[in-house]
Amino acid sequence: MGPDPLPELMHNGLEQLREMIERDRNHPCIFSWGLCNEIGGQNPRGFEFPKRMYEEAKRIDPHRLCSFASNSLQQNPGKDVSQIMDFIEWNEYYQTWYGGTKEDLRRNLDAIHRAFPDKPIVISEYGYCACTPDRPEDDSKRVDVLVGHDRVFRDADYVAGLIFFDYNDYRTHVGDKGVRACKQRVHGVVDVYGSRKPSYEVLWRESSPVASLQVVGGPAEFSIVVKTEYLGKSKPQFIF
């Protein structure tokens, strides 16, 4: 089998990309196009598909950033198709699907940075999925993964953003819990009905952009000092 993606898949991907850009290119909230997700970015076909998607996105909208969410940066990150993207997106699941420890995460993160020293890294997914018999629902483990991995990311000034996966347990035909229409993945800080788990409060605190707000003075004249969270480290940002 050659390195080219299946023609029908390549055609479908490019069609959807063009439709998405045509529909959303003037939306003020969009800073980047996400080209694909977890496609095996170190095999020939997995390399060629996002490469063509990247080239087409730049042809249509040359000034907007592009990237894709990679789950193939665990070995030889420099060989990953991430190398052609404008910034790195990494779906990171140490202590769950990837096994390993927080220190393994730290070493892998450093290796990715060494491979791409001039590119910021966005953690496009991380979290704890209770989706196999050896990994039963344990929300305290979800909290440990969330807080522990955040500490690793906060030590790296090249990490530009974090996306915790995910907010809610969800129903899916590839679910690991339940049967038939009730199949679900237990991945969230709330369950499928929206009931909060203890990890909800932890995610809220970890993600809160405001560390503190202080008002000094009286009604006639006062100032407001807002300290924001920068990857969890309080820094004064605004004085009004």
CA distance 76 to 116: 12
Mean pLDDT of 113-125: 97
At CB < 8 A and 24+ separation, what contacts does 228-237 make?
231/150, 231/153, 231/154, 231/159, 231/162, 232/150, 232/151, 232/154, 232/206, 233/154
End-to-end CA distance of the chain: 63
Q: Average pLDDT over the chain, rounded to whole?
A: 90
Mean pLDDT of 13-22: 97
pLDDT at 181 over 80: yes
Nearest Cα residue to 86 out of 123, 37, 33: 33
pLDDT at 68 over 90: yes
Give the CA angle between residues 25, 29, 34 to the nearest 5°: 65
Structure confidence at residue 214 (pLDDT): 87
Structure confidence at residue 140 (pLDDT): 94
Helix (H) or strand (E) holding 52: helix 44-60
Structure confidence at residue 3 as a pLDDT band (50, 70, 90): low
Mean pLDDT of 193-212: 91
Structure confidence at residue 239 as a pLDDT band (50, 70, 90): low
Global pTM value: 0.85
Mean pLDDT of 98-126: 97
Percentage of the residues of the chain whose pLDDT score is greater than 90? 68
pLDDT at 52 over 70: yes
CA distance 168 to 180: 19
CATH architecture of 7-208: Alpha-Beta Barrel (3.20)
Q: Between 208 and 152, whose confidence is greater?
A: 152
Mean pLDDT of 78-100: 95
Structure confidence at residue 83 as a pLDDT band (50, 70, 90): very high
pLDDT at 174 over 90: no
Is there a cis peptide before residue 166, judged by omega within 30 degrees of 0? yes
Nearest Cα residue to 214 out of 197, 194, 199, 234: 234
pLDDT at 228 over 90: no
pLDDT at 2 over 60: no
Which residues belong to CATH 3.20.20.80 in the chain?
7-208
